[in-house]
Amino acid sequence: MPPSRPVSSQDIERINAASKKFINNVEQVIVNKEETIKLIFVALLSEGHILIEDVPGLGKTMMAKAATKSLGCSFKRIQCTPDLLPSDITGVNYFNQKTAEFMFHPGPIMANIVVVDEINRAMPRTQSCLLEAMQEHQITVDLATLLLPRPFLIIATQNPIELEGTFPLPEAQLDRFLIRLRIGYPDEQEEEKILSRFQEENPLDSLEKITNAAELMELIKICRHIHVSADVVKYAVELVRKTRLHKDVKLGASPRASLGLQAAAQAHAAVEGRTFVIPDDVKTLAVPVLAHRLFLTTEARLRGKTDEAVIADIVSATAVPIE
């Protein structure tokens, strides 16, 4: 591996402080989901896209909006419908009669943080216009290539149970999401707290910004210098390679998944207050980073096997390096 700039204790303290502020800020809106919010911040530090998938009414969009409002970055929202066109997202060139010239009217994709609500309600043609943006941080409009602002992050939501009027995301698009998160139902005490918190006003309206785009980019660069030992790299690669050999998997995780797992592990280590990655960072992130990238066999799906269960089996069967 190429030599990296040593990360100082001040760098780690800076990231750790930012993560605590972010978690505390979002928790003013989202009740008792600290680990989920922490994973969102890890994805932000990895400049990786986030897919929040769960049943209706659990706060997917609320969590996405709370996360984006906590960041002092430019923010746009796209509400997906079957009649949404690619130009509605990327923007369009139009003829200005006053200047007698064509001008570009930017779409909502030209922002630091883009919330794509109910992404699986958009037609495949519209979904595909996000592929270039998610991977290459650029868009192409009328043969012209336009760079997107940095940092650039997409937070998408989708409901997994609705079939009518939805278009499942293809493997190529799922592979471009760094992590997939599920919120889950609250328990009784949590639901009572939600009712109490939203009784008089929406706490989202009073949420404060804890950082800005320039500072977030600095934190992202610091995370890329977190040390990853050869043993940890080998462990991460072994987990990814085993997804391609598992008997229940038809299509395993790609090398992009390996890169994403390493970047997320570096960010997770920094959030936990360390200048180096340990195997537990990789284990913690294995399911959210790898599970949604698997395409299970028909037989496995008929048996009720899930992609999360496959990753859990692989993690439990893989020896952890001990230094």
What are the structural domains of the chain?
9-225 (3.40.50.300), 227-323 (1.10.8.80)
Instruction: Give the CA diameter of the chain.
Output: 70
235: CB partners within 8 A, 6+ apart = 279, 282, 318, 320, 321
Tens digits of per-residue pLDDT, 166-186? 888 888 889 999 999 988 888
User: The whole model's pTM is what?
Assistant: 0.89
Per-residue pLDDT, 56:
81
Residue among 151, 190, 176 nearest 59 (CA)? 190
Residues in the chain with pLDDT < 70? Answer: 1-5, 161-165, 323
Tens digits of per-residue pLDDT, 123-169? 988 888 888 899 899 998 887 888 999 999 999 998 876 666 688 88
